[in-house]
A and B are shown apart, each in its own frame.
Chain A
């Protein structure tokens, strides 16, 4: 009976240590500056430049051989 109690106590202590290890920590550093700004219609209309070398594979314009007939 005493052995059983010791085993239960050991498991309990182990579980508490495991939970503490799993949950501890500060989570890293937040950004130091900057703020979110909604992209408005002009932002989306005046799209950035088209990248070179990083272009998405599906840059097919409507009507091009790769575009689907819809």
Chain B
């Protein structure tokens, strides 16, 4: 096929070039059906570094506001930067006929993105909220675990670790803010840092004390699973984390966090008997988040996503997405035994 007859490659814009944004771009570029990738960053030093790293594989733009004039070929916009104001940016791109993928996990941002459902559905477009490690991969694990059950009434997510500095900041915020849990069909306020539970993650992370945190993940789970009675999200905290929690953190976060882990417990029934399915994952959160957001983006380009605003658990394609993530090196595991 000559270049003249080759169909034009669709474009994808990644707004925010931190650990996750850069990894999304890298994963997209390395795909067999790679789109044209444009990266927008507000940091001049980051723009220089990414231009050097990506060369001709991606267009890297600098914009003080974090969003520049994008090429007309852009069909999907990935929001991988600051969570504040993402709903407004998402609405802007919906009006321009673009799908939106967001990696934010702040409850307010996730709620605002889900509120775009009617607008996106009317335009036959998709807003994918929480396409990262947790939420994101955790939503896929929950959806996949649910395939082994006839009914699902509880989903409990536990996570360990953080991606880049922005993710570390959000982790700290989620530990300090008041959270809401889904109990018996209603949102119940709870204190972050309460509700200690020992959660067993895949080795070598192993058992960790986990506590309630304020993330938007429960919103996505409740949206995805009809008839859910309980949805909880916990995060592993060390004793030092808990002791230092009320104090200001004066040291900057490391460029990228270490190994993270996920544990997703789905309870329900099968053949009339109570049953619990547990899936987990061990990976660097930033890398896994990039792979998840990239697969979500490619799914949107292939027209595989439902119209409207949802998380990945609502796609109904967990098996295919987990298989695609496996090819990218994101391995998941199941807990065998009782």
A53-B227, A58-B314 given as contacts; is B300 within 8 A of A68 (CB)? yes
Q: Is B152 an interface residue (CB 8 A)?
A: yes
Q: Is A39 an interface residue (CB 8 A)?
A: yes
CA distance A46 to B294 in the complex (A): 24
List 8 additional contacts besides A36-B280, A63-B303, A68-B304; criterion CB under 8 Å.
A39-B332, A39-B334, A48-B148, A54-B151, A54-B268, A55-B226, A68-B307, A69-B303
Are A38 and B152 in contact, CB atoms less than 8 angstroms apart?
no
Which 8 residue pairs across A and B have the least CB separation, nearest first?
A: A34-B337, A70-B303, A58-B306, A58-B314, A59-B316, A48-B147, A54-B152, A28-B198
In the complex, which residue of chain B has the Cβ closest to the Cβ of A39? B332
Are B239 and A23 in contact, CB atoms less than 8 angstroms apart?
yes
B146 touches which of A32, A51, A62, A70 (Cβ 8 Å) = A51
B203 touches which of A36, A63, A66 (Cβ 8 Å) = A36
Query: In the assembled complex, which residues on chain A have CB atoms less than 8 Å from the CB atom of B338?
Result: 31-34
Interface SS majority for chain B: mixed
Interface size class of A (residues with CB under 8 A): 35 or more
Q: Is B243 an interface residue (CB 8 A)?
A: yes
Q: Is B5 an interface residue (CB 8 A)?
A: no
Are B223 and A57 in contact, CB atoms less than 8 angstroms apart?
yes
Are A56 and B146 in contact, CB atoms less than 8 angstroms apart?
yes
Are A49 and B148 in contact, CB atoms less than 8 angstroms apart?
yes
Number of A-B pairs, beta carbon distance below 8 Å: 153
CA distance A27 to B224 in the complex (A): 31
Q: Is B196 an interface residue (CB 8 A)?
A: yes
B300, chain A: closest CB distance, angstroms: 7
CA distance A44 to B315 in the complex (A): 16
In the complex, which residue of chain A has the Cβ closest to the Cβ of B280? A36
B304 touches which of A33, A49, A62 (Cβ 8 Å) = A62
A36 touches which of B226, B305, B313, B333 (Cβ 8 Å) = B333
A54-B226, A54-B227 given as contacts; is B306 within 8 A of A37 (CB)? no
Query: In the assembled complex, which residues on chain A have CB atoms less than 8 Å from the CB atom of B303?
Result: 62-63, 67-70
CA distance A65 to B150 in the complex (A): 26
Query: In the assembled complex, which residues on chain B have CB atoms less than 8 Å from the CB atom of A55?
Result: 226, 316
Q: Is A19 an interface residue (CB 8 A)?
A: yes
A67 touches which of B223, B279, B305, B310 (Cβ 8 Å) = B305
B6, chain A: closest CB distance, angstroms: 18
A27-B198, A51-B152 given as contacts; is B336 within 8 A of A57 (CB)? no
A11, chain B: closest CB distance, angstroms: 15
Q: Is A45 an interface residue (CB 8 A)?
A: yes
Are B322 and A69 in contact, CB atoms less than 8 angstroms apart?
no
Q: Is B218 an interface residue (CB 8 A)?
A: no
CA distance A67 to B316 in the complex (A): 11
Q: Is B209 an interface residue (CB 8 A)?
A: yes
28 contacts between A and B (CB under 8 A): A19-B243, A22-B243, A27-B209, A28-B198, A29-B198, A30-B198, A35-B335, A36-B202, A36-B203, A36-B335, A44-B323, A44-B326, A47-B144, A49-B148, A51-B146, A52-B150, A53-B226, A54-B227, A56-B315, A57-B310, A58-B310, A60-B306, A62-B303, A62-B304, A67-B307, A68-B303, A69-B303, A70-B300
Query: In the assembled complex, which residues on chain B have CB atoms less than 8 Å from the CB atom of A19?
Result: 243
CA distance A31 to B315 in the complex (A): 32
In the complex, which residue of chain A has the Cβ closest to the Cβ of B279? A39
In the complex, which residue of chain A has the Cβ closest to the Cβ of B263? A36
Q: Is B19 an interface residue (CB 8 A)?
A: no
Are A68 and B243 in contact, CB atoms less than 8 angstroms apart?
no
Query: In the assembled complex, which residues on chain B have CB atoms less than 8 Å from the CB atom of A4?
Result: none
Are B306 and A45 in contact, CB atoms less than 8 angstroms apart?
no
B175, chain A: closest CB distance, angstroms: 14
CA distance A23 to B245 in the complex (A): 13
Q: Is A25 an interface residue (CB 8 A)?
A: yes
Are A70 and B326 in contact, CB atoms less than 8 angstroms apart?
no
